[in-house]
Structure 1
Amino acid sequence: MLKKTVWLCLVAVSWPALAQDDDTQQRLWQNTRQMDRAQEREVWEKDAEAQAAMRGEETAPQDTGAALYEAVNHSDWPAARRLLAEYEQQADHDQDVALLARASLARADGKWKESKRHYETLLERQPDFTRGRLDLARLLYEGHLNREATSQFVQIARTEDLPESVRENVQSFQTALSKRDSWRGSAQVGAVWNSNINHSPGTGKEWCHRLSDEDDECSSVLQADPVESGVGARYEGTAVRRWQISGHHGVTARGIAYGTVYRNRKERGSHTANVSAGYQFENHRDSFTLAPVFEWNNSGGKTEQLGYGVRGEWERSGSNWLWNTELEWTRLNYVERFNHLDGHMVTANNTLTYLPRHDVMLHVGLDYQRRTAESDVFAYRQTSARVGAVKIFPQGFSSAFNATFRRRTHDGYEAFFQNRRRDNEQIYTLSLTADRWKVAGLKPVLNLKHRRVNGNIGLNSYKQNEIGLALQKTF
């Protein structure tokens, strides 16, 4: 029987690369959220230090009212509840002290609206009560009412004879509010080496196709391309901004762009841009976003795919944790030679971030993805689990480790291999950042990455290592 040799076709080569984009996007958005969370935590840590400095200047309480005031200052809520009940029984009790205690207790109980109402009543009675105004400003900041919080902090900053610790604390909040109302994100450009830019299972590997089990000879043989390594340049960038419209309602926009260009391997280069803008609700505990999304992909210097869709995102935050759920539906439209890949993508990503202390951040995630295509060979279901950690060292260095484990099952039956494709994928990344070597706002970052795909069809199995050195700018 005639024996034919068939080389790896372009479609088979392109498909794995396109399927990996979600890994880069997810990592970049995760980094952006973690950066925002770290900045917010830094503000509250400075606030706690300022509060501690003020408490150091206090004297021993002389009566129930003074004891109640001190309990509030020390966040001793059980004592504050008991003392407030006793204090309000006194005929000559100070209503303003009671209001301050009620507002503080409501905030401690998570009753944000009730706390805000008590503070506003207190300031209507005592407009010059700086302590009450500072507490209200902090509460408004916590509730993401940026415009209202800014107004309160400006009034406090104008107060004469303001203690230096309070003035520094006010400036810290004002700086944080300015950042909130500006574009936030990062940009990174550098060199990269990749051990397997064409995702080849290995030189010399081949697969035999027989027309029937009784045939001794192959009707055709599929040979893997030689493994190609490459050196080139890589860039990554993210940007996010929110505009407050009224109260907790606003508009948010976010964009991401990343790509790689290899020296003497133009056909292996790729570029992706993803933008989204829409409605956002945000308060002291929850954030909800609903927005259209648009994506563009380029491969080998040519546009390969245009996508559009809608995404919804919900976030809930606690004192030292953050839960994020993101749902996205996208319509994928490819150029004519790849129109067999046209279809829809539904993605659900869930991430829990935990901050056990100020210099450590941990996260875990569970994801699901459903991909349809004109050719069911390229349609699949994918489940993923993620774990990661960020550590900041006092010497001016930081590290971030992420691991992703995926199981991908394709719908269609591949006639050549007489099987349905199933892949198990592992991705490990390690980033080392040297903040102490920052020059002109640019800091060096060393990126290491290992990817391993084990498939029931050998053609789709490969190993890949990357080493990158870049300069990063955060804003």
Structure 2
Amino acid sequence: MRHAVSTCLLTLAMLWMAAPASGQSARSEDNRLRLDPGIDRRTTLSEREAIEGPEPPDRITIDGQVYSVGHNPDDLGRALYLSVARKNWADVRRFLPPYLALARHDPMLVAWARGGLARSDGRLAEAERQYRALLAIQPDFLPGQLELGRVLFENRKDREAHHLFRAIRDQLAGQGEQAAGVRRTVDTFLDALDRRGGWQGMIAAGPGYSSNLNQTSASQTCLLVGVDGTCLIDRTLPPAIASVGLNVEGSISRRIALKGQGGLLARAFVYGDTWPAHGDYNQATLSAQIGYDHQTARRSLTLSPTFDLSSFGNRVLSTAPGLRAEAMLTPSPSTALRLDVVRRVFNYRRSFDDLDGALTEASLTGWWSRPRGWTLFAGVEAGDKQAEKRANAYRHVGARLGVVHGFADWAELTLIGSVRQRDYAAYSELLDAVRHDREANLTAVLRLPTLRLAGLTPNILLQHNRVKSNVDWLYSFHRTAASIRLEHAF
């Protein structure tokens, strides 16, 4: 009997050792959500000036004076031109129909007005068609060239936009100081296009602390009691290991524009911790993808092979080739919605190969930007993990809620809370239960741009994780981690 109990305890010890390894990816989607939008936010901020464009001050000044508009080509044409120039689209809609009804109307002005209306309505394909019709009549019409370039830029036709703005820049090269303002506008677009096609990312590193490296419940249970009440065999899990180490995380991406709105997108994320005094608990995760990406001003679709690599205790823990599909919709400048579907096939090293199997996950996340630097986001997710032994297979569902707030230019705070329910597929004779886990994660990141020095921005990362399992003595734990890092964004 003692031998049977010892064998059982040895097997349970292996299960407990596997707990940190199998739980390593539980917060991966939170990390990806936190690292991924950082690239998107920096891109949006850098491009906003180019998309909106600097408006020449007092280009058309009416001074409140009401001018009568006669029903003739000169008056209607002048009123229509001034309305387009001032981006007064209500007046453009008012003057365009009577102007079109005239026997003699200027097709260039009509295309100019229709293109502006289409762009203001978000109908960028129609705007491009109108501006191209305008330039077919007068190819060297500079305002038309600039508006066409702006539409191409906004509608993610990066190659065509770069070619057009470069041609405009060459055309303006010999025009002296009078063209300086236009050159600055063109240079703004060219710089934004170069940034779009360049490497973007961040790397952050610094000292960190964890209160429970080994994710232990630190439970103690008596398994065999003697006739006198003495515990003959007990089951004791080790106490929590607290330690100081090094926390590192980063992201990098690049999109190479192809013809039209297509492109090749490469993206990678890495995060991990090293513990000099407890190297057996070092862990790191790398997630990389490269594939086809199609973007418009309001929609994007990415389909790419992926590869995930994770390490635990200075050895490779698992590899996971897979396929990821992402679809993003931006209904308005203040809202966005993204759907992610990914399937990965996990292959663990021999000690943990009973965890092998495919994991299929889907998540839906929405963002809502508010005035004064607030951004709210929320999402739901679901997944199905297969395994050779049904007791190791599971399904999970989860939800997350977060907020990002910028305090002028001196600080940015990100808060994320998430919960997940993991239900295993079958009864485990070893555990004498069908396992069910509930996990809660809280994350806070404070960035301090006001303290930036030599391109490095201090940030503070705080995380709290709590798992409650029906196999409480083995899988329940809580952990708090903190790190102070220096971040470099590029």
TM score, norm. by length of structure 1 = 0.91
* Aligned-partner residue type, residue 28 of structure 1: R
What pairs up with 1:280-299 in 2 under 5 angstroms? 280-299=293-312
Question: Out of 320, 339, 342, which is 1:328 matched to?
Answer: 342
Q: Against the structure 1 CA distance between its residues 432 and 36, is the aligned structure 2 distance closer, same or farther, given a 3 Å change threshold?
A: same
2:203, 2:97 → 1: CA distance?
55
**Which residue does the alignment assign to 1:235?**
248
Question: Out of 311, 318, 325, which is 2:324 matched to?
Answer: 311
What are the superposed Cα offsets for residues 22-73 of structure 1, whole Å, 9 maximum, x if unpaired? 523543354333432343245324654613x44x221337733333334334
**Which residue does the alignment assign to 1:11?**
15
**Which residue does the alignment assign to 1:175?**
191
Q: Please report how far the alpha carbon of residue 163 of structure 1 lies from its aligned counterpart in structure 2 after TM superposition.
A: 5.9
2:389, 2:211 → 1: CA distance?
30
**Which residue does the alignment assign to 2:480?**
465
Question: Out of 258, 273, 287, which is 1:274 matched to?
Answer: 287
**Which residue does the alignment assign to 1:213?**
none
**Which residue does the alignment assign to 1:430?**
444
* Aligned-partner residue type, residue 170 of structure 1: V
What pairs up with 1:180-219 in 2 under 5 angstroms? 180-202=196-218, 205-207=219-221
Q: Please report how far the alpha carbon of residue 109 of structure 1 lies from its aligned counterpart in structure 2 after TM superposition.
A: 3.0
**1:13 touches 1:199 (CA, 8 Å); kept in 2?**
no
Larger radius of gyration: 2
2:391, 2:120 → 1: CA distance?
55
Q: Please report how far the alpha carbon of residue 332 of structure 1 lies from its aligned counterpart in structure 2 after TM superposition.
A: 0.8
Q: Against the structure 1 CA distance between its residues 65 and 319, is the aligned structure 2 distance closer, same or farther, given a 3 Å change threshold?
A: farther
Q: Please report how far the alpha carbon of residue 95 of structure 1 lies from its aligned counterpart in structure 2 after TM superposition.
A: 1.9
**Which residue does the alignment assign to 2:72?**
none
2:390, 2:234 → 1: CA distance?
23
**Which residue does the alignment assign to 1:113?**
125
| 2:112 aligned with 1:100 | yes
Residue 168 of structure 2: SS of its match in structure 1? helix
**1:32 touches 1:185 (CA, 8 Å); kept in 2?**
no
Q: Please report how far the alpha carbon of residue 11 of structure 1 lies from its aligned counterpart in structure 2 after TM superposition.
A: 3.1
Residue 149 of structure 1: SS of its match in structure 2? helix
| 2:57 aligned with 1:58 | no
* Aligned-partner residue type, residue 467 of structure 1: A
2:149, 2:322 → 1: CA distance?
38
* Aligned-partner residue type, residue 180 of structure 1: R
1:281, 1:12 → 2: CA distance?
45
1:225, 1:299 → 2: CA distance?
19
2:367, 2:230 → 1: CA distance?
56
**2:287 touches 2:309 (CA, 8 Å); kept in 1?**
yes
Residue 338 of structure 1: SS of its match in structure 2? helix
1:217, 1:379 → 2: CA distance?
39
Question: Out of 39, 44, 49, which is 1:40 matched to?
Answer: 44
**Which residue does the alignment assign to 1:67?**
79
Residue 353 of structure 2: SS of its match in structure 1? helix
**Which residue does the alignment assign to 2:351?**
337
1:277, 1:252 → 2: CA distance?
6
**Which residue does the alignment assign to 2:31?**
27
Q: Against the structure 1 CA distance between its residues 74 and 196, is the aligned structure 2 distance closer, same or farther, given a 3 Å change threshold?
A: farther
**1:274 touches 1:293 (CA, 8 Å); kept in 2?**
yes
What are the superposed Cα offsets for residues 93-121 of structure 1, whole Å, 9 maximum, x if unpaired? 32212111111222233322221111111
1:136, 1:35 → 2: CA distance?
27
**Which residue does the alignment assign to 2:100?**
88
**Which residue does the alignment assign to 1:248?**
261
Q: Please report how far the alpha carbon of residue 226 of structure 1 lies from its aligned counterpart in structure 2 after TM superposition.
A: 0.7
| 2:166 aligned with 1:154 | yes
Residue 15 of structure 1: SS of its match in structure 2? helix
| 2:134 aligned with 1:132 | no
* Aligned-partner residue type, residue 471 of structure 1: L
**2:18 touches 2:352 (CA, 8 Å); kept in 1?**
no
What pairs up with 1:217-228 in 2 under 5 angstroms? 221-228=234-241
2:133, 2:340 → 1: CA distance?
39
Q: Against the structure 1 CA distance between its residues 46 and 283, is the aligned structure 2 distance closer, same or farther, given a 3 Å change threshold?
A: closer
2:154, 2:299 → 1: CA distance?
11
1:112, 1:46 → 2: CA distance?
16
Residue 134 of structure 1: SS of its match in structure 2? helix
Q: Against the structure 1 CA distance between its residues 45 and 358, is the aligned structure 2 distance closer, same or farther, given a 3 Å change threshold?
A: farther
* Aligned-partner residue type, residue 37 of structure 2: R
- Segments of 5+ residues of structure 2 without an aligned counterpart are 70-74
1:227, 1:146 → 2: CA distance?
53
* Aligned-partner residue type, residue 32 of structure 2: L
**2:19 touches 2:475 (CA, 8 Å); kept in 1?**
no
What are the superposed Cα offsets for residues 305-358 of structure 1, whole Å, 9 maximum, x if unpaired? 111111111112232222111111111111122111111100112111122237
When structure 1 is superposed on structure 2, of 91-100 and 59-68 the one drifting more is 59-68
Between Structure 1 and Structure 2, how many residues are aligned?
467
**2:391 touches 2:424 (CA, 8 Å); kept in 1?**
yes
**1:50 touches 1:165 (CA, 8 Å); kept in 2?**
no
Q: Please report how far the alpha carbon of residue 223 of structure 1 lies from its aligned counterpart in structure 2 after TM superposition.
A: 2.2
When structure 1 is superposed on structure 2, of 301-310 and 189-198 the one drifting more is 301-310
* Aligned-partner residue type, residue 98 of structure 2: E
2:89, 2:232 → 1: CA distance?
80
* Aligned-partner residue type, residue 21 of structure 1: S
1:336, 1:455 → 2: CA distance?
26
The percent identity for this pair of structures is: 28
Q: Please report how far the alpha carbon of residue 75 of structure 1 lies from its aligned counterpart in structure 2 after TM superposition.
A: 4.1
Q: Against the structure 1 CA distance between its residues 86 and 22, is the aligned structure 2 distance closer, same or farther, given a 3 Å change threshold?
A: farther
1:443, 1:190 → 2: CA distance?
12
